[in-house]
Structure 1
């Protein structure tokens, strides 16, 4: 079981995925409201951060198998990857729930 400090460290490491950090640098595109955040860019950045966390965990796992890394680093990388995936799944679930609610609205 992870300690609260460990969990806080894992969440801090993926802090770049958080909406607060992404919304500080809005990307204006032709379809986006001027000065407003671009939702697709927000999701793209979250996907990239999740994939990067997975790659880091894979690299650390390979390093420990070769005897070049400490097991603590592997556990930390895997926990960070797991937190990123859980965050992404939670966002996906909320988007699906919002879509379903919109579809239930009377026209």
Structure 2
């Protein structure tokens, strides 16, 4: 039963590593930031939010297994994680769609 928890922990660690690598790469980048903010930074923050929401959901699940939480807390945490993931998937799909549209434009 520890395999799913190990897999989840590994996935969170990988995501956190990617976020920190991206953040360190942006810190040494050249160029001025846009007045409205950096799109890559916004995506990085949202990805961090997804990771943290998943960690919180896992912790509530572990608390329930240990008898320290009730089923309503687990369902609520899972619903929040699902909503956050769906938002990121939607953003990803729209970015890919925009990229494909740009690639179809004549030069």
TM-score in terms of structure 2 length: 0.69
The corresponding residue for 1:3 is none
Cα RMSD after superposing both structures: 1.4
In 2: Cα distance, 1:42 partner to 1:56 partner: 21
Question: Structure 1 residue 105 and structure 2 residue 105: aligned?
Answer: yes
User: Is the Cα–Cα contact under 8 Å of residues 57 and 81 in structure 1 kept in the other structure?
Assistant: yes
User: Is the Cα–Cα contact under 8 Å of residues 32 and 38 in structure 1 kept in the other structure?
Assistant: no
The corresponding residue for 1:60 is 60
Name stretches of at least 5 consecutive residues in structure 1 with no aligned partner. 1-28
Tell me the CA shift for residue 71 of structure 1. 1.1
Name stretches of at least 5 consecutive residues in structure 2 with no aligned partner. 1-28
Tell me the CA shift for residue 37 of structure 1. 1.2
Pairs within 5 Å for 1:21-100 = 30-100=30-100
The corresponding residue for 1:18 is none
What secondary structure does 1:93 align onto?
helix
Tell me the CA shift for residue 34 of structure 1. 4.5
Per-residue CA shift, 1:71-97, capped at 9, x if unaligned? 111110000000000000000000000
Per-residue CA shift, 1:52-72, capped at 9, x if unaligned? 110011000000001011111
Could you list the runs of 4 or more consecutive aligned residues of structure 1 that deviate by over 6 angstroms after TM superposition? Answer: none
